[in-house]
Amino acid sequence: MAAADPNRTRMTLADEDLMQLMRQGDAQAFEVIYERHANAAFSLAYRMTGRRGAAEDVVQEAFLSLWRSGARYDRTRGSVRTWVLGIVHNRAIDSLRRNLRHDTHRASDEGIEERFEAKERTEIQAAHSEEAAEVRTALETLPDEQSKAIELAYFGGFSHSEIATMLEMPIGTVKGRIRLGLEKLRGQLGQFIEVPA
């Protein structure tokens, strides 16, 4: 009788079981997790960064981080896919911040800021920056499931059905979480937030 192929066996395991194997250093379990979630991870990274190369770097960093920190996965806080996309989301934000700092530094070196900066524009940018900080602070007060759905919809640009697929939940649940989260944000931020009908 032929021995069972361990790779084929791993393909049938649930993500949570694969995470247990990853904790023990099982690289094949990691490969299966990668194969299952890499497309959704790339899609999110690409929508957030807007550049293929940057998105590929974000996904690579995210999965490397996932391999190193697999022991931190907690099944009581959501699915493996949600956890993976959370890591990708954080890495994409880090990438955007790095690029912004680099672009700002380069523009400063070239004297571009002095040539194009106008007082009105600076005041408008400051107001937008202040509003963005208020929104970020308010988002942090929401339950994880609501803030994640809102971030995927409004910052990631995903449709409700795409979010439902990524988070492995019914579309009605996604819509409900977004609506509840937006209502809470509206209570905190007033004029900045428009809750769709």
Give domain limits for the chain: 14-117, 122-197
> What's this model's pTM, rounded to 2 decimal places?
0.54
pLDDT of residue 31: 93
Query: In 10 A of CB 174, how many CB atoms?
Result: 25
Q: If one looks up domain 122-197 in CATH, what number appears?
A: 1.10.10.10
pLDDT of residue 2: 44
Which residues of the chain, if any, have pLDDT below 50?
A: 1-4, 104-105, 107-109, 195, 197
SS3 1: coil
Among candidates 18, 16, 139, which has minimal Cα distance to 76? 16
Fold agreement (14-117, 122-197): no
Among candidates 96, 83, 86, 90, which has minimal Cα distance to 54? 96
Question: What CATH class is the domain 14-117?
Answer: mainly alpha
Alpha carbon distance 13, 8 (integer Å): 9
Residues 31-59 as b/e (b if ≥16 CB within 10 A, e otherwise) read: ebbeebbeebbbbbbbbbbeeeebbebbb
Alpha carbon distance 176, 189 (integer Å): 20
CB 59 within 8 A of CB 88: yes
pLDDT of residue 28: 92
* Secondary structure tally for the chain: helices H, strands E: 10, 0
Name the token pair of 63: 């999965």
DSSP 70: G
